[in-house]
Structure 1
Amino acid sequence: MTKSVLLVIDAQQSFYHRGYQETAETPAFERSISALIEGCRLRGIPVVDVFHVEEDGPFSLASGLVERLPFLKHEVVKTVRKRVHNALTESGLEAWLREQNIEHVIICGLRTEQCCETTARVASDMGYRVTFVTEATLTFPISHNGITLSVADLRHRTESVLINRFAAIRSVEECLQELP
């Protein structure tokens, strides 16, 4: 049987203190990530919290904001901090996954196209089977060169570049159905 782990990436209060606001997608994200975490708990899948830290600002440990989003109350087997976009390098997580004989990582959290997607790519390159649960990720619109990509655009783009290359794309329900 494949050993799985759920990575809850950057679901931290820091984001709402760097100019990001709740969006129309926030309530659905909160329901989805909560259902995924609870479903994993009921199946005995360990949960790891991953927090992004920086030297200054709302992502610094001194800010007091490198804490879970308030609606999340889950138990974790491990908490790691990262200073890069992916959760596996420089955080100690990859060594821990190897020690636990983990073969499959499930990814959820914030931001869909940044730390979540980057973690999926790196995990795949390291040989892990990856499940990306897009509806349990959250992001915010991005503007560049006068073009704004909506949350839907960013999710579609992330799924398009990950599917059949780096990760299986699943809904919460599909992901949980595939777990033992």
Structure 2
Amino acid sequence: MNKALLVIDTQDSFYHTPYWSERDLADFQHNLTQLIAAFRCNQHKVVKILHSRDDMPDSPFNPASGLVQPMAFLDTSFDKTFYKSVHNAFTDTGLAMWLKRNNIDCVTITGIRTEQCCETTTRVASDLGFQVEFVTDATLTFDMQHQPSGQRFSADEIKVRTELVLAERFATICKPQDFVA
């Protein structure tokens, strides 16, 4: 099976958002670095996806901010880079065509934010006919507060919910160690 690891939105922009938290960052970095090494060892593609919004001048996701670049711990070369302006990595990016041209039939999802761009990309990938592996421990998200109820959800609770809605419908839920020989 030909696979590609999608590293979604793991970019400096997030350091400049009001919800940024480093609480789970070390584990995320370790898990993602381990996965990249495993994919490289098995000669699978590693794809960088960056979120870029030209239409938001004061946003850290605007390329003019200088922040739309991979986080420094991603000390690796990527096989391909795609820029997206919506929540999924497929719309208007050419990603699906590139995957098909490279005979890739399975995508492995990692990156930032678990419930947003990672989950949305998973759903679209599944709808496009790709086999999808979702590595929750190689995704990162942040605590959220539901408005208007005020109820708070921890990053861990959000990840559990994401697994609940994706498992066996859109993706196989995996652990980083599933990829390490």
Q: Secondary structure at the match of 2:69?
A: coil
* Equivalence for 1:9: 8
- CA RMSD in angstroms comes to 1.0
Question: Structure 1 vs Structure 2: percent identity of aligned residues?
Answer: 45
Correspondence 1:5-154 to 2 at 5 A: 5-55=4-54, 56=57, 57-144=59-146, 145-154=149-158
Letter matched to residue 156 of structure 1: V
Q: How far apart are the structure 2 equivalents of 1:21 and 1:60?
A: 17
Q: Secondary structure at the match of 2:4?
A: strand
Q: How far apart are the structure 2 equivalents of 1:21 and 1:121?
A: 25
Unaligned runs of 5+ in 1: none
Given candidates 156, 163, 168, the residue that maps to 1:159 is 163
Q: CA deviation at 1:20?
A: 3.1
Q: How far apart are the structure 2 equivalents of 1:70 and 1:78?
A: 18
Q: Is the 8 A contact 1:131 1:175 kept in 2?
A: no
Unaligned runs of 5+ in 2: none
Q: How far apart are the structure 1 equivalents of 2:51 and 2:9?
A: 6
Q: Residues 3-38 of structure 1: CA distance to partner in whole angstroms, max 9, x if unpaired?
A: 110000000000111223333211111100111111
Given candidates 171, 175, 179, the residue that maps to 1:171 is 175
Q: How far apart are the structure 2 equivalents of 1:19 and 1:143?
A: 13
Q: How far apart are the structure 2 equivalents of 1:14 and 1:68?
A: 9
Q: How many residues align?
A: 176
Question: TM-score by structure 1 length?
Answer: 0.95
Q: How far apart are the structure 2 equivalents of 1:12 and 1:28?
A: 16
Q: CA deviation at 1:105?
A: 0.1
Q: Secondary structure at the match of 1:58?
A: coil
Q: Is the 8 A contact 1:133 1:175 kept in 2?
A: no
- Which shows bigger deviation, 104-113 or 142-151? 142-151
Q: How far apart are the structure 1 equivalents of 2:103 and 2:35?
A: 22
Q: How far apart are the structure 1 equivalents of 2:17 and 2:160?
A: 24
Q: Is the 8 A contact 2:38 2:179 kept in 1?
A: no
Q: How far apart are the structure 1 equivalents of 2:133 and 2:12?
A: 25
Q: Is the 8 A contact 2:111 2:140 kept in 1?
A: yes
Runs of 4+ in 1 over 3 A off after TM superposition: none
Letter matched to residue 139 of structure 2: T
Q: How far apart are the structure 1 equivalents of 2:20 and 2:144?
A: 13
Question: TM-score by structure 2 length?
Answer: 0.94
